[in-house]
Chains A and B, each alone.
Chain A
């Protein structure tokens, strides 16, 4: 756990003080008028329970049942009930860092306060009156505006702490957190409204059922996340298997993918495109399987025939991944990653902007990683050397924009070069006399070596980082 920065400390103190003031006011209001005590007594335990259940699950995407409960609280009982419900989860909060406990619970209180006050100000009435008046669309504007207030408070508080403490750019926060949370929050608001409606007709029992679709959706999301993880590690493992054909390229695909994503982030590419680019980067060389091992491992100069065989790999690779439903762009990235800006590349000899953007990115990432890792005929060069080499070739071989983007990316996140791979024995020759009949795994690698482990760690770190950025608001908290 890193230390809180000074500015973040001040920020945290202000937020906590604000929430404390709101709580005192809420308690006073509650003591004056006890008619909503029952709402508090039912909703607060639900709130605690759902937050507690949540913290016991490990997941990337979370559909929180807490926001609907908070919204239901102010729709039925006003801002004071919402503030008290919001603070209730502090009893079971097991986060280790005291600053995070303070911040997250203060945030719940302030969200409840803002929603409740805005709802009142817009002329919203307690849902308890619903059975007499009936439901009409006139009820909706105050609810919608109050939800917007809840979102604003959540997004404002979160971007404050992330900008001050974790130095994430406000534009990134805005795009990956605020925009992506608008949809879920209105869905939460709807659930809150539905809970309030059922409460008003005396079906408090059924109000809990409203959360069932949410829980089911959450389970599906978890399965989705698990499956995605499995998917990624499968691709990674299989690509590693492909790379065993050429010992010196181990980890190459993974690193090219990483570098491509770094470039894409600098270019402010949309998330789903980054995702497709990541897969394209990992799979860009998969077509090398169709190239004879002998040719791939050859150290001397290649004959025309051999070079022709190598030149087939982008096409082969595209053919192999055709059946997988990616964005069309990913196929293009694989197909054209050996094109050159001056038109002297392969397979089609495209030039300039005719080369798809993905391919221009992968070409730079590919060359960069080739230079910074060990080859059979030379050792690894260092990063600055490789970058100046890329700069020399910008405009003829590479797109200068992409080279520049790689420069900026590496200024921000330094590239971790790892020790060159040791050659390991992978070739099996049939009928090999050294084989031990009792041990089917003799001569076979059983443990990933240090480099593979380092790669895995690096790419995990990257994944976590992006997920963290994207979903921090969905979790409703700073964690």
Chain B
């Protein structure tokens, strides 16, 4: 998955990065101008956050996350009384110190990644600073002004308050992530927000719980609370890493096997890849959900797998140019293969890719999945244009698509596909 600076600074990402940057500068400047309060505690939490940043993971769906760093930031924001070796002391630092400690620790933790050429995604760093600052803003004034004295001696009220703050922060974080994603992938904000909120439920709840628990337990365990409570989250993170890695392997396998028709001489080199890229770009712009995009991508990569059953390859592998009945038989065979692998939705998409958008004199056929309509258009475009970057060839292909809009191709899909092609930058899949 290649990222470019253009992706990094598109639309919503700029807002998030700029907001995080301004807050970070304000925090560091304000903290530098006066002595750091509770310096040992600041160093301990800073270390936790830096380590968390160091062991950050890529979660499924191209999400970069530092669960332990995020939990450390939340815990530092929500910290009340702290057990020193011989006494329990109240903490005195304020919101801006939380921001400053988080910022510096995150930057320190990011240095090794940059050294090995894996710079962090700025937007996700900015979000972590913003969220730590936000949690501190909600909690620290209440605590330092003594409003929490009544509820802080055991019982459910203090944990409940902390959980509420953490939950709220989680929602804000998801919305910020959606803002950045919708800019990066050119998808509608609402679709991105839905995906991000869905992703929050899993690891997000573990991050929030760990932040709250570290803050609570520090009252009796002191520094020990930090590593000990962070460990379970590390285990959870490990499971997610395993999941993400099998997802990636699965992806690679489907990409590799989408090339079997090319190696077998049935289709042109790169055809499936290009169809998948165009399909995914169109699907994102249409606001399909993350899961639907995944199905779309797999279906697009394997849309020609049915050609393996042909005794003689079709010229150039271009299914757009053969009779519809033959197209259907190839698609049906491909769907059969895919169905045996248990991907029923993907199989259905592949099966339906040959169907025209509507029949003469009839309204449009809602039974054909949107993904099939997208693949039909992307496949036709690639059959007409090939991998050509020449604008003449591309314009010719788009022209052919527009001619077919009366019944062959969904006009909305053709429209969006034209826009994507004209932008000429295809997204990576």
- Please list the residues of chain A having a beta carbon within 8 angstroms of any beta carbon in chain B: 63, 130-131, 134-135, 137, 187, 190-191, 193-194, 197-198, 200-203, 205-206, 209-210, 212-214, 216-221, 223-224, 227-231, 233-238, 240-242, 244-245, 286-287, 289-290, 293, 316, 319-325, 426-431, 435, 437, 440-441, 443-446, 448
Contact = CB atoms under 8 A, between A and B. Distances in A.
Contacts of A293: 311
22 contacts: A134-B220, A137-B224, A187-B231, A194-B213, A194-B228, A202-B153, A205-B159, A206-B212, A212-B206, A213-B232, A218-B239, A220-B242, A230-B343, A231-B253, A233-B342, A235-B341, A238-B260, A293-B311, A320-B256, A322-B256, A440-B325, A440-B331
Interface stretch (B99-107, B243-251, B384-392): B243-251
B209 interface: yes
Contacts of B323: 430-431
B246 A231 contact: yes
A448 B340 contact: yes
Given A238-B341, A427-B311, A431-B326, A135 B256 contact: no
Contacts of A237: 337-338, 340-342
A325 B342 contact: no
A241 B340 CA distance: 10
A194 B159 CA distance: 15
B308 interface: yes
A191 B330 CA distance: 55
Contacts, number: 227
B85 interface: yes
Contact of A241 (B243, B308, B312, B325): B308
Contact of A201 (B160, B202, B219): B219
Contacts of B401: none
A325 B244 CA distance: 13
A437 B323 CA distance: 12
Interface of B: 83, 85, 153-156, 159-160, 202-203, 205-206, 209-210, 212-213, 216-217, 219-222, 224-225, 228-229, 231-233, 235-236, 238-240, 242-243, 245-250, 252-257, 259-260, 263-265, 305, 308-312, 314, 322-323, 325-326, 328-333, 336-338, 340-343, 351
Contacts of B351: 440
Contacts of B222: 134-135
Main secondary structure of the interface of B (DSSP, over half): helix
A234 B343 contact: yes
B232 A324 contact: no
Contacts of A245: 308
A446 B335 CA distance: 10
Given A290-B264, A323-B252, A444-B333, A224 B308 contact: no
Contacts of B249: 231, 324-325
Contacts of B342: 229-230, 233-234, 237
Contact of B308 (A217, A227, A234, A242): A242
B252 A187 contact: no
B232 A194 contact: yes
Contacts of A130: 220
Given A134-B222, A212-B205, 16 more contacts: A191-B232, A201-B216, A210-B232, A214-B236, A217-B238, A217-B239, A234-B341, A238-B260, A238-B337, A241-B337, A287-B263, A289-B260, A324-B252, A426-B309, A430-B310, A440-B325
